[in-house]
Structure 1
Amino acid sequence: MSETEPWSVEKFVAGLNRKRMAAGVLFRDDKDRVLLVEPSYKAEWEIPGGAVDENEAPWATATRELTEELGMKRDLGRLLVVDYVFPRESWPEAVMFIFDGGTLTQSDVDAVEFVDGEILSAGFYDLDEARERLVPRLARRVEAAMHAVRMGTTVLCEHGHRIA
């Protein structure tokens, strides 16, 4: 916008950056293992969750994804992690959220319905096993979420590395 052009909210907003966002849910069992899901569309595993749609709050995304991927209707707990992810290769920068899903039993997981074909399986894994299945930045984010659960706090991360 040149100095001679009048200011307008539309022009200002059009020039703002857009960030990709995603939200996931951390479920644990009574042995402090985390629930991971095996996607049908890639090799790396995930926690339940997904991309935030336009005009959707991250907590609404997490709830929607639980229903779509696992056939679950559950209230979310508190926010555990906010992670700023740097741009890389063809991916733009992003802000990722993890919410507390609480604890599940093996019976709860056995009753899960993979309703949309996006998820092939789900299971509990300790952090060492999770690191083998997750991309490193998500493994770090999950570890940060477990730390947040233990400490009763919210953790800030950059690319999965805890900063606060």
Structure 2
Amino acid sequence: MTTSDYATYIASLPRILAGAALLIRDGQGRVLIVEPNYREGWALPGGTVESDLGETPRQAARRETLEEIGLDVEPGVLLAVDWVQGAARPPIAAYVYDGGVLSEARFEAIQLQEEELVSWRLVSRDEIPERLLGSLGHRVLAALEALEKGSGTVELENGLPPA
């Protein structure tokens, strides 16, 4: 196979998007969420994996968190991988890493990226479904459960365990 044949073959393969985020908590177990200005609802700090530039999901979670809230947080264990179907886009493989428990001083040091974010807040487990819509809320709850049980990474499809 020639180089151009291989390039044509690669170009013909299906595409997926990838995103990565950190599950950051405070000493009371509340979860840090951010409010984007470009869509409805809230999210975890994180974003798109720049795979065309060789970035890994773990690197993206750290970079995006630093860009969005000004905190350099080393991603811990992988808590969840979610395959999320989309109507007007390719599927997304969404990775959620443990961002650990931060001190009050670290939260006070948050500096929002105003081009993308309106605000941030800490929410209890009970508030997650109303703030994090659809599969994202399910994904975060599954990641919290995996973290609490120490059961390892959870595999999800649209936020729920595979059927």
Provide the TM-score with structure 1 as the length reference.
Answer: 0.88
Separation of aligned partners in 2, 1:120 and 1:110:
16
Equivalent positions of 1:15-164 (< 5 A) are 15-53=12-50, 54-55=52-53, 56-88=55-87, 90-152=88-150, 153-163=152-162
1:13 corresponds, among 10, 13, 38, to: 10
Asked whether the equivalents of residues 30 and 124 of structure 2 are also in contact (C-alpha less than 8 Å), the reply is: yes
Which structure's CA Rg is the greater one? Answer: 1
Whichever residue aligns with residue 156 of structure 1, its letter is E
C-alpha RMSD of the superposition: 1.8
Aligned residue for 2:32, secondary structure, equals strand
CA positional deviation for 1:65: 0.6
Q: Deviations over 1:121-159 (max 9, x none)?
A: 212111221211111210000001101111221000000
% identical aligned pairs:
37
Secondary structure, aligned partner of 1:162: coil
Alpha carbons 1:68, 1:116 under 8 Å: kept: no
Amino acid of the residue matched to residue 12 of structure 1?
Y
Aligned residues between the structures: 157
C-alpha contact (below 8 Å) 1:36/1:130 kept by paired residues: no
Instruction: Report the Cα distance in structure 1 between the residues aligned to 2:6 and 2:79, rounded to whole angstroms.
Output: 34
Query: For residue 13 of structure 1, what is the amino acid of its counterpart?
Result: I
Q: CA deviation at 1:101?
A: 0.3
List runs of 5+ in structure 2 lacking aligned partners: none
Check conservation: 2:128, 2:141, Cα contact below 8 A.
no
- Do 1:109 and 1:122's aligned partners in 2 also have CA atoms closer than 8 Å? no
For the residues of structure 2 that align with 1:163 and 1:31, how far apart are their CA atoms?
Answer: 31
**TM-score w.r.t. structure 2 length?**
0.88
Q: Is the 8 A contact 2:71 2:109 kept in 1?
A: no
Q: Structure 1 runs of 4+ off > 6 angstroms?
A: none
Which amino acid in 2 is paired with 1:64? R
Deviations 1:15-47 (Å, cap 9, x if unpaired)?
111101100100112222111111122230000
Distance 1:9 1:62 in 2: 31
